[in-house]
A and B are shown apart, each in its own frame.
Chain A
Amino acid sequence: MTEKILELKNLTKNFGGVVALNDVNLHVNKQEILALIGPNGAGKTTVFNMITGVYQPTSGEIIFNNKSIVGKKRFEITKGGIARTFQNIRLWGDMTALENVLTATDVHSKSGLVGSLFGSIRSRKTEKEATVKAHEILEFIGIDEYGDRLAKNLPYGVQRRLEIARAMGTGAELLLLDEPAAGFNPAEKVELGNTIKKIRDAGYTVLLIEHDMSLIMGISDRVAVLDFGVKIADDLPSVVQNDSKVIEAYLGVPTDAS
C-alpha cells in the first residue's frame, strides 16, 4: 500500500466572483512523480500557490504528512517539507548559484544572529556543513561548475535547474516544479526528465506542472488533469492520454458539434 504524502480535499478557491478551483480532490503518493496538466488558466499554479501558502483556500483542506497546513505561514510550510520552483524564474540574481542554495539550506540551520556574530563553534560548523550540502545538491543537479557564478549571469537552462536545486536545498520531501522545462529544446527536455526521475529515485516526491506531453508521458507515475478549475482525470499516463474528456479539454469542443 502506497503512502499519501499530500492530500487536497474539496479544495475551492474564488477570486472575487471567479471560481479558480472548484472542489478539487487530489493526492500525491510518497516518492512518485505526479504531473498536473491542463489548458492555460485551468488553475494549476493556483494549486501550487495554495499548497505553499501564497493564497488561502476559500474552502477545503490541504493535508501534508497527515497534518493540515492551511493557514500556516509560507516559510513554515517550506520548513515543514514542501518547496517549489517558479514558472517565471525567481532566483536571487545578485547572489551566486551556491549562495542561492545555501540560503535555502538555512531553513533548518540552528545558527542564529548572535551565534553568527560571535562566530560560535556551532555557527561555524553549520556554515561548513551547509556549504558542503549545497555543493552536493548542485553536483546532483549537474550544475556544480556554475557554483561561483552570479545567478543572473547563468545560462537560461542552468537558471531553471538552479531553481530546482534551491528548492531541494530547503530539505523538502515534496518538490513542486512549475513548468521546469519551459523554453527547453527537445534534448534539454530529455535531460531534465532524467534529472527529475533521479530526484524521485533519491527519495523525493515530485508534483509537476508541465505542458510538454512527451516529457510528462515519459516520466510521470500518474497524471491529473485540471480544466476550468475542475479535476477531470487522474490516472496512469497511458489511461489519461486516451481519456475523451481530456482530449476534449485540449482540443476544444468535440468534432460532432460543428
Chain B
Amino acid sequence: MSNLRDQGAEFWAKWDRPRRVTFVIASIAVAASLPFAGNFSITNILNTPISSYQDVLVYPVGMFVLMALGLNIVVGKSGMLDLGYVAFFAIGAYSMAILGTHTHLNMWEIFPIGIALAMFAGVLLGIPTLRLRGDYLAIVTMGFGEIVRITALNTQKIGGPNGIANIPSPPSLFGLKFNISHPNSFFWVVLVLILLTIWMIRRLSIRRPGRAWEAIRQDEDAAELMGVPTLKYKIWSFVLGAGVGGAAGVVYASKAIFISPDAFTFNISVLILSCVVFGGIGNIWGVVLGGVFLAYLPERIRFISNARQLVFGIVLVLVMNFRPDGILPRKKREKALLTKDDLGGKND
C-alpha cells in the first residue's frame, strides 16, 4: 500500500518556495476559519449535537491536538512512554486557577509561569526516573499523574474535590475578546500554540536534538556509546513535552472558568496517547490527524461518546497489532536531512 505520508512529502519536495508558502498560509487560513463552518449549510454537518461546535473546537479538539503534539515529543521522538501526561496539563491549569483567583496577574502573564512550573515538574520527575527502562518509566509516570490529581483532591486550600471556580477570562488582545461567549478567540490562541509547537518540533527534528532523540529511540545503548548524552536529551524531551502540556492547561483553565480534579484523570492521559498512536507515532501530521479524529468523533457521534474510553482501548490494541505505525507512519523515505541545496548555499 502506498504511503499517504510519503506521497505528501513527494509533492512538497517538488514545490518551490512561493508555492510552499502559499500552501502553508492557505492551510492556516482554513484551520483558522473552522469555527465559522458551523454557520453554512454545506459545512454545518460538522455541528456537534451536545456541546456547541465552537466550544468543541477548543476543547477537546484543539487542546488534544496540542497535547498530542506535546506528548509526541516524548513518546514519538525519543521513545519514552509517558502515561501521566495529564499531570502537566493539570499543573498548567491549576497555576492559572490559583494565580488568577489570588493575584492580579492576568492569563497572559500567568501563561509563561504555568509553562515554567510544568517544565519544572518535568525536571523533578525526569531526573530520577528517566534512567529507568521504558516500562518502568510508564508505570512511574502513571503514578505521578494520579499523585498530582490526588494531591489536588486532598488539598483543601485549592478547593479539594470542589476545585476552583471564577477563574478570570483573559483580557482582550489585538481587539479579540476572551470570554464565555467568545470561544473562537480561544480557538485561535490554541491554533497559534499548535503552530508554534509544530514549528518547534520540526526545527529540532532536523538538527542535533532530533538526531539524538532518534538515536535514543532506536538503540539507547548504542547512542550513549556513540557519545550522545542520553539522559540530558531524554530530560529535554520530557521537559519540552511538559511545557506544551502546561501551556494547554493554562488556556484550558481560563476558558473553562471552573476546574476540579475530575478533569485530570488517567483517562485523559490515555486519550492523548491514543491520539498519538492512532495517527502515527512520531509523525507530526499523523498526530494532528489522530487528535482531530479521536477528539471530534465522540462529540459528533453520540453513541460513541458514551463508550468513548472503550473505543480508545480498542483503538490502542488494534492499531498496535495491525498498523503499529499508525494511519500516517513516520518517515520511511530515504533522504538526507540537509539537501544538496542547503549545502550549496553560501555561509550565513
Contacts and interface: CB of A to CB of B under 8 A. Distances in A.
Contact of B227 (A83, A96, A111, A117): A83
A119 B199 CA distance: 12
A148 interface: yes
A83 B334 CA distance: 27
Given A116-B203, A119-B203, A153-B334, A99 B211 contact: yes
Interface string B325-346: 0000010101111100011000
Contacts of B336: 96, 98-99, 131, 147-148
Contacts of B222: 86, 90-92
A94 B281 CA distance: 14
A80 B347 CA distance: 30
A75 interface: yes
Contacts of A102: 211, 337
Interface residues of B, number: 35
Contact of B228 (A75, A99, A149): A75
B348 interface: yes
Chain A, interface size category, equals 35 or more
A94 B222 CA distance: 14
A128 B338 contact: yes
Given A117-B200, A148-B336, A123 B226 contact: no
A162 to B, nearest CB: 12
A95 B214 contact: yes
A84 interface: yes
B154 interface: no
B204 interface: yes
Contact of B225 (A84, A117, A153): A84
Contact of A78 (B214, B218, B226, B342): B226
Contacts of B330: 94
A75 B337 contact: no
B227 A90 contact: no
Contacts of A54: 221, 225
A106 B204 contact: no
6 contacts: A75-B224, A78-B226, A113-B204, A121-B348, A131-B343, A132-B343
Given A128-B347, A153-B334, 12 more contacts: A54-B221, A75-B225, A83-B225, A83-B227, A92-B215, A92-B218, A95-B211, A96-B336, A98-B337, A116-B207, A131-B343, A170-B227
Interface of B: 200, 203-204, 207-212, 214-215, 218-219, 221-230, 236, 330, 332, 334-338, 342-343, 347-348
CB-CB nearest 6 A-B residue pairs: A107-B227, A78-B227, A116-B207, A92-B218, A90-B222, A103-B211
